[in-house]
Chain A
Amino acid sequence: MTHAAVAAPGTRFKKLLRRKDDRGGAPKLSPLWTFVAWLATLAFFAPVAWMVLTSFHQEADAATNPPTPFAPLTFDQYELLFSRDITPFLLNSVMASVLSTLLVLALAVPAAYALSIKPVEKWTDVMFFFLSTKFLPAIAALLPVYLIVKDAGMLDNVWTLVVLYTAMNLPIAVWMMRSFLAEVPKEILEAAEVDGAGLLTVLWRVVAPVAMPGLAATSLICFIFSWNEFMFAVNLTATQASTAPVFLVGFITNEGLFLARLCAAATLVSLPVLIAGFAAQDKLVRGLSLGAVK
């Protein structure tokens, strides 16, 4: 029994349409416009390429004028980074983003269930309440959060970041997960209930297969946002709990400028998100638009 077989006619029609829109039949670009497209692409990618290239250069070759892109390559900068203790910062980042992502999912998945599959009354109002918290500028919360965290003795503690990142990402996750769970075919749910299938069976056999890709996409988006977060991290941590972005700004002010090493650090801390983002390109839009655009 597949979903397609029982999916609502509307869904099937949309699938057809979409297949048509993945069109191999899309009009081709003329050579001139192809050239323009590639020129623009390379212009946008150039800073990233320059960052990665410089990270494999010696300091002396990195800071030359005019630039010397063909200088010999080396892993020295990366070795230096690890000998300069970037590791604890990376571990803090991993902890803060992974734990907060897990916590977000633990809270968002049941909530999304109660907003789509078995909706509470006025569920749209609840959705918009979650969304409205995303519009509150984080900076306006910084002072009270700082004071509360200080009073509780939780400054410079990774768990503080975990809680804040969870609050930051929860609305996004609720919206995304709801949009995925809404695709669970109602007919199958009802049929399963009529047949007397237990809640767990329904969740496992009907909901999970549809929700899994959504779960992956949602965790990815939450991971990216927490991994990159800077404002709370720089203001609420000092030495013990500082994350990767804090390391980046810190080692500039402490040691003067080392361009090649800076590029190595920038490349290293961006790598997890670059890999995750490339791997999940197709899901990225849906996450960034809170599930509104597929």
Chain B
Amino acid sequence: MTTLTAPPKTAPPPVRTRKSSGTAAKWKRRIPLLPALIFTIVVTQLPFVATLIISTFQWNILKPGERHFVGLSNFSFVFTDERLRTAVLNTVVLTASVVIISVILGLGLAMLLDRRFAGRGLARTLLIAPFLVMPVAAALLWKHAIYNPDYGLLNGTLNAVYRLFGADNGPTVDWISSYPMPAVVVSLVWQWTPFMMLILLAGLQAQPGDVLEAARMDGASALQTFRHITLPHLRQYIELGVLLGTIYVVQTFDAVFTITQGGPGSQTTNLPYEIYLTMFRKYEYGEAAAAGVVVVLGAFVIATFALRTIASLFREEVSR
């Protein structure tokens, strides 16, 4: 039993098809929908048509007059370019680590918060704070206040601990240059764990209490209950968290822009940042557009899975 929003009705009402008033009635129903639909088509679909067209041009703003149609050659560049391949790989590593780690941490936290303990409400409030801090502010905070080798909180605390135990000084680790990818991942995990925790906590609290009670009465251990009752029940919530998290984290721009600028070298350059560089640093509009088309195709693959999951949740909801 889930708490997916359920309209009290069972199926969309049959559309009345009386011949005379049918078309007029249909249009009367459609009118409130049209502004939103037209707006969405104009603002979100037309730019992609433009991207497709630009991707077939050789177009560098620094070389005016050389803009001409080149067919698919930008795409062959995109698929053979070393930097772009690195960017694809970095995007996969970044997204997968952030989503997986934050789902695991979020699940742990959700299971703790599902129980009663002193100050549970306050703990929940404090835990969602990282998600509410502006992403750019969070990235700057991690970069300067936490990772900074000279006075960041990490090295500062290490130093304080070392001195506590009588050593002279702690090690001076330059976190961002030594561990660029983990540095970005940690800051993003910090922001996304509360999101996962909220979704999974909602899932846990939607568990019918009597089933758990029955399991307890039958002498099931906590681990057995978790594996055979809680986890299967949570599956769709985990899927939802993973999919929504993936959609957002794949598009990460703020953290890379702020913390590492994609560096050192291109070790943390993900696709959004690489496209940004191609556009506003190299001014290769054609290449940037081709890379954009590739990103859209990649997103399509994720979206197919995501939409299928959401559609099944949705059908379940509507048919109830």
Contacts and interface: CB of A to CB of B under 8 A. Distances in A.
A142 interface: yes
Nearest to A247: B136
Given A66-B160, A270-B132, A110 B313 contact: no
B118 interface: yes
Contacts of A145: 47
Interface residues of A, number: 125
A114 B275 contact: no
Contacts of A64: 151, 156
B82 to A, nearest CB: 20
Interface string A277-294: 110010011101111111
A288 B199 contact: yes
A194 to B, nearest CB: 15
Given A21-B206, A108-B36, A142-B276, A135 B247 contact: yes
B198 A245 contact: no
A38 B122 CA distance: 10
A144 B151 contact: no
A48 B44 contact: no
Contacts, number: 361
B112 A29 contact: yes
B184 to A, nearest CB: 15
B320 A10 contact: yes
A127 B311 CA distance: 10
Given A230-B254, A288-B244, A293-B240, A141 B51 contact: yes
A71 interface: no
Nearest to A265: B137
A259 interface: yes
Interface string B291-312: 0110110011011001100110
A226 B78 CA distance: 32
A140 B295 contact: yes
A78 B36 CA distance: 41
A259 to B, nearest CB: 6
Interface in B262-320: 271-272, 275-276, 279-280, 285, 288-289, 292-293, 295-296, 299-300, 302-303, 306-307, 310-311, 313-314, 317-318, 320
A65 B133 contact: no
A50 B156 CA distance: 13
Interface string A249-276: 1001000010100110111011001100
B9 to A, nearest CB: 5
A195 interface: no
A171 B288 CA distance: 26
Given A34-B117, A40-B112, A230-B253, A116 B7 contact: yes
B2 to A, nearest CB: 8
B228 interface: no
B57 to A, nearest CB: 11
Nearest to A25: B209
Contacts of A136: 44, 48, 296, 299
B193 interface: yes
B5 A26 contact: no
Contacts of B37: 111, 126, 129
A163 B44 CA distance: 11
A274 B307 CA distance: 30
Nearest to B8: A8
B84 interface: no
6 contacts: A48-B129, A137-B295, A139-B272, A182-B7, A244-B134, A291-B5
Interface of B: 1-9, 12-13, 15, 26, 29-33, 35-37, 39-40, 43-48, 50-51, 54, 108-109, 112-119, 123-138, 140-142, 144-146, 150-151, 153, 155-157, 159-160, 163, 190, 193-195, 198-199, 201-203, 205-209, 237, 240, 244, 247, 250-251, 253-254, 257-258, 271-272, 275-276, 279-280, 285, 288-289, 292-293, 295-296, 299-300, 302-303, 306-307, 310-311, 313-314, 317-318, 320
